[in-house]
Amino acid sequence: MHGTKILDEADRLMTVCNSCRYCEGLCAVFPAMEMRRAFSDGDLNYLANLCHACGACYVDCQFSPPHEFNVNVPKTLAIARADSYAAYAWPRAFAGLFARNGLAISLIAAISVAAFIFGFAAVNDHAVLYGIHTGPGAFYALMPHNAMALLFGAAFLYVILALAMSLRAFWRDIGEPVGMKADAPSLWQAIRDAGELRYLDGGGVGCFNDDDQPTDRRRLYHHFTLYGFLLCFAATCVGTLYHYLLGREAPYAWWDLPVVLGTLGGIGLFVGPIGLLAAKRQRDAVLVDETRTGMDTAFTVMLLLTGVTGLAVLLWRDTNAMGPLLALHLGFVFALFITLPYGKFVHGLYRFAALVRYARERRMMAGGVAE
């Protein structure tokens, strides 16, 4: 017996699949499964986070419905995966809240912070909010840099702590009983696999949709989203270094590194999430659990709105729309930040940890690393 019914079902399916092994070439899930004869809760959460829900094993399976074995690996692992976000979340009390109302809470948080900044500036000096500000330090006419740094610095530290605690719990649960140390070659292999989204291709043909025509679109849009997010994060880091090390205040010229990185990242966060939302609508309903797609959608929508408002600030920063647009953008960035540990974002961390474990297991099987 496992901790939840869905893990019981995942155990049943993995036992069937372990006898069959027809799908072992499709992705990392089946080879990882074949290294086990029994499955703990942690093992099943590990397998669930290795799965990309491409749908290939459902389409290929001779035991999928209406067969009495009722094998549906993508859907079962998708539910287990969504449950794993809450199972390892820190603090636990927040996990269910976001699972049920992710988009509403994210939007309320974004609009509340934007309204606070908007009100703060309006009460201070109405003319500042709608004035035209240009040159170094223009953004800080709306909100002093120290206040901005305090607000976002506190949120950042909280998010890092919450993510680190969640990842630690996941890592311990999927590891060996005495804990598991990552080795450099396994880490490097996992970085390469995650960077290429290697297993998000249905064994080479792409993801399956409602029209039975596999495509690689989900992988493409995941790439736009992943690298868009990383570029925006890099832009923020470079801007922080400019401010504190070089004494150069934002906004910067369009050709300066933080703006180039932010613009490319913003385009990624525009194209990627729109593509993912469109791809989600085309997914075969049999592969997904509609009741648990809210968290995915919330994260994707928040990424999109963060990218769109960031690009809007860039385009209209020399006009009197800059104040309201910047307030809105900061609201979405803040809300995206504080919801990161409780939604789809953690899947990226758990998948990476699972890929490290998978690479390590493969090396152990090949005799390249000691137990």
Find tokens 């932010």 and name the residue: 262
Q: 28 vs 238, which CB is nearer to ligand SF4?
A: 28
Say which residue the tokens 């999430």 belong to.
273
The one among 6, 51, 110, 288 contacting ligand SF4 by CB under 6 A: 51
Subset of residues 60 to 119 that bind ligand SF4, contact rule: CB under 6 A: 60-63, 71, 73-74, 77
* Structural contact between residues 328 and 113, judged by C-beta atoms closer than 8 angstroms: no
Size of the chain, expressed as the number of residues it contains: 371
Place of tokens 């990242």: 265
- Mask for 176-215, x = binds ligand SF4 (CB under 6 A): -----------------------x--x-------------
Closest contact distance (angstroms) between CB of 120 and ligand SF4 is 47
Which pair of tokens denotes residue 224? Answer: 């736009």
Contact assessment for residue 75 and residue 288, using Cβ atoms and an 8 Å cutoff: yes
The nearest distance, CB 194 to ligand SF4, in angstroms, is: 14
Distance CA 287, CA 79 (A): 10
Q: Rule CB under 6 A: is residue 55 a binding residue for ligand SF4?
A: yes
Is 286 a binding residue for ligand SF4 by CB under 6 A? The answer is no
Note the helical H segments in 88-144: 92-124, 126-130
Closest among 13, 42, 6 to 30, alpha carbons compared: 13
Q: Is 20 in the site for ligand SF4 (CB under 6 A)?
A: yes
45 is written with which tokens? 């959460």
Return the residue of 7, 32, 44, 57 that touches ligand SF4, per CB under 6 A: 57
Stretch of 24-32, 143-151, 308-316, 334-342 contacting ligand SF4, by CB under 6 A: 24-32
* Phi/psi at 215 (5° precision): -135, 165
In the complex with ligand SF4, which residue's Cβ is closer, 24 or 183?
Answer: 24
Q: Which is nearer to ligand SF4, 42 or 214 (CB)?
A: 214
From 48-56, 95-103, 126-134, 147-155, span contacting ligand SF4 (CB under 6 A): 48-56
Selected binder of ligand SF4 within 26, 44, 107, 304 (CB under 6 A): 26
The alpha helices in the chain, defined as continuous H runs, are 5-20, 29-34, 41-50, 56-60, 73-87, 92-124, 126-130, 145-174, 184-196, 217-241, 257-282, 294-315, 322-339, 345-365
Residues 6+ apart with CB under 8 A from 258: 235, 236, 238, 239, 242, 250, 252
Query: Considering only 16-24, 86-94, 105-113, 154-162, which stretch makes contact with ligand SF4 by CB under 6 A?
Result: 16-24
Q: Which of 52, 283, 317, 347 binds ligand SF4 (CB under 6 A)?
A: 52
How many residues at the interface with ligand SF4, by CB under 6 A? 26
Comparing CB distances to ligand SF4, the nearer of 68 and 371 is: 68
Which residues of the shown chain bind ligand SF4 in the complex (CB under 6 A)? 16-17, 20-23, 26-27, 29, 51-57, 60-63, 71, 73-74, 77, 199, 202
